[in-house]
């Protein structure tokens, strides 16, 4: 009897150990899925999730990202493309509530950025054709066409949103969400994972990312690319709930008569911005970080603090054409710079 009891106890203990180990193993498991969408590689990492739940989450996000790509890109035949067609004919168009919300948020951010982030300049973006930047003999568009499009002053404030019905008082408005949609999608995706009970995640879209919860025992460390040299300018540890977004003039560009023609356009001139060569924003809201990184590229050394304050950005690093690094104090406290001889200026608190 005693023997039997001790055997039973041993059996129970070993069963308990097995289940503890299984729980520990799940806690340590990192599962990844990559999607080639939004013009980049989107890597979704989940920590401590049972394989069946992870599979369900990956399938859901794959469907969602593909749907967002289809509906929010001007290059597909999806909702945004149809909306743009209607707007160019002075007609209104009813969109999905999801796209209506996105357009409302983009309108708000555009106003806060003093229209430097201006997703209404789709015609200019289209004219520049930066998706062809790798082709030989590519040239900037005709100067008079650029002047013409700028003179039409397409702005988000031209758009009227009544419920889900969108119209524009300016037929020159064409929406191009490339500076914002990726961040916005990542925020929603992280929220969807949370609703599935998955709290420890990283979604990384080509170096622009959001971290939620814990990443195993280590923080998520991200390198910030040097805009002019191979390698990194520095690195920072991204904490739970934070996103880091970088915009740069080295991502999609070509050289023309010694000038760098890159894909971030100054809506006031219609030409590529000249303010900074790269801007890295740290913020809890990925959509905001994405839009702000683009706006601050254009704001330049004279105006970046004003625009950052208006957009509620506290932690930002900016690199100008001479290689000088500008840091807000909140970013200076977080970033570890490796570029030894670069001139570094820390601003007043934002």
Neighbour tally for 111: CB within 10 Å: 14
C-alpha 88/C-alpha 203 separation (Å) is: 35
Interaction residues for Mg ion, span 167-206 (CB under 5 A): 179
Supply the minimum distance, in Å, between the C-beta of residue 256 and ligand ADP.
17
Out of Mg ion, ligand ADP, none, which partner does residue 187 contact, by CB within 5 to 8 A per kind? none
Chain residues binding ligand ADP by CB under 6 A are: 116-119, 121, 125, 130, 176, 178-179, 182, 208, 247, 251, 263-265, 267, 290, 293-294, 298
Q: Which is nearer to ligand ADP, 179 or 198 (CB)?
A: 179
Q: Which two tokens stand for residue 289?
A: 């970080």
Q: Which is nearer to ligand ADP, 118 or 123 (CB)?
A: 118
What is each CA distance from 137 to 133, 145, 199, in whole angstroms? 10, 19, 48
Q: Which is nearer to Mg ion, 48 or 74 (CB)?
A: 74
Supply the minimum distance, in Å, between the C-beta of residue 244 and ligand ADP.
12
Out of Mg ion, ligand ADP, none, which partner does residue 128 contact, by CB within 5 to 8 A per kind? none
Interaction residues for Mg ion, span 234-293 (CB under 5 A): 247, 290, 293
Site for Mg ion contains 294 (CB under 5 A): yes
The three-class DSSP label of residue 263 is coil
Out of ligand ADP, Mg ion, none, which partner does residue 265 contact, by CB within 5 to 8 A per kind? ligand ADP
Closest to 179 in 3D by CA, of 37, 269, 295? 295
The burial of 80, by beta-carbon neighbours within 10 Å (0-12 exposed, 13-18 middle, 19 or more buried), is given as: buried
Give all strands (DSSP E) within the chain, no chain letters: 30-37, 40-47, 93-94, 159-162, 165-168, 201-205, 208-212, 220-225, 232-238, 243-248, 253-256, 259-262, 278-283, 315-319, 325-327, 336-337, 344-346
The burial of 10, by beta-carbon neighbours within 10 Å (0-12 exposed, 13-18 middle, 19 or more buried), is given as: exposed
Q: Which is nearer to Mg ion, 48 or 275 (CB)?
A: 275
How far, in whole angstroms, is CA 1 from its chain's centroid?
66
Supply the minimum distance, in Å, between the C-beta of residue 293 and Mg ion.
5
Q: Which is nearer to ligand ADP, 48 or 242 (CB)?
A: 242
Q: Which is nearer to ligand ADP, 49 or 233 (CB)?
A: 233
Supply the minimum distance, in Å, between the C-beta of residue 206 and Mg ion.
12
Q: Which is nearer to ligand ADP, 109 or 325 (CB)?
A: 109
Out of ligand ADP, Mg ion, none, which partner does residue 212 contact, by CB within 5 to 8 A per kind? none
Supply the minimum distance, in Å, between the C-beta of residue 79 and ligand ADP.
17
Supply the minimum distance, in Å, between the C-beta of residue 338 and ligand ADP.
22
Residue count (the chain): 350
Supply the minimum distance, in Å, between the C-beta of residue 60 and ligand ADP.
24
Q: Which is nearer to Mg ion, 174 or 247 (CB)?
A: 247
Supply the minimum distance, in Å, between the C-beta of residue 148 and ligand ADP.
18
Max Cα distance, the chain (Å)? 98
From edge to edge, which strands make up the β-sheet containing 165-168? 93-94, 165-168, 159-162
Q: Which two tokens stand for residue 347?
A: 């601003």
With contact defined as beta carbons under 8 Å apart, do 288 and 312 qualify?
yes
Out of ligand ADP, Mg ion, none, which partner does residue 102 contact, by CB within 5 to 8 A per kind? none
Out of Mg ion, ligand ADP, none, which partner does residue 81 contact, by CB within 5 to 8 A per kind? none
Q: Which residues bind Mg ion (CB under 5 A)?
A: 179, 247, 290, 293-294
């Amino acid at each position: 009897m005693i023997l039997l009891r001790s055997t039973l106890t041993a059996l129970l203990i070993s069963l308990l150990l097995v289940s503890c180990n299984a729980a520990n193993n799940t806690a340590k498991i990192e599962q990844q899925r990559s999607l080639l969408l939004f013009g980049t590689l989107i890597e979704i990492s989940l920590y401590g999730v049972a394989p069946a739940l992870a599979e369900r989450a990956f399938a859901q996000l794959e469907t969602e990202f593909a749907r967002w790509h289809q509906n929010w890109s001007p290059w597909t035949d999806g909702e945004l493309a149809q909306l743009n067609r209607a707007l160019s004919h002075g007609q209104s168009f009813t969109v999905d509530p999801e796209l209506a919300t996105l357009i409302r948020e983009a309108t708000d951010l555009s106003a806060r950025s003093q229209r430097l982030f201006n997703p209404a300049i789709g015609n200019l973006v289209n004219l520049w054709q930066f998706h062809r930047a790798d082709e030989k003999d590519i040239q900037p568009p005709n100067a008079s066409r650029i002047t013409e499009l700028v003179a039409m002053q397409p702005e988000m404030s031209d758009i009227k949103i009544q419920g889900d019905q969108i119209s524009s008082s300016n037929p020159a408005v064409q929406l191009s969400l490339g500076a914002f949609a990726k961040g916005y999608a990542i925020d929603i995706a992280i929220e969807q994972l949370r609703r599935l009970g998955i709290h420890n995640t990283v979604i990384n879209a080509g170096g622009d990312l959001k971290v939620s919860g814990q990443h195993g025992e280590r923080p998520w460390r991200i390198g910030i690319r040097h805009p002019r040299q191979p390698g990194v300018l520095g690195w920072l540890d991204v904490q739970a709930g934070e996103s880091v977004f970088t915009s740069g003039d080295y991502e999609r560009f070509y050289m023309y008569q010694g000038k760098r023609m890159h894909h971030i356009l100054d809506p006031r001139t219609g030409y590529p911005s000249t303010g900074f060569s790269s801007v890295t924003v740290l913020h809890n809201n990925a959509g905001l970080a994405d839009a702000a990184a683009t706006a601050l590229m254009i704001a330049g050394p004279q105006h970046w603090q004003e625009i950052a304050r208006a957009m509620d950005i506290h932690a930002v690093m900016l690199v100008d054409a001479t290689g000088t690094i500008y840091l807000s104090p909140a970013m200076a406290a977080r970033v570890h710079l490796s570029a030894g001889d670069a001139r570094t200026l820390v601003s007043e608190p934002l």
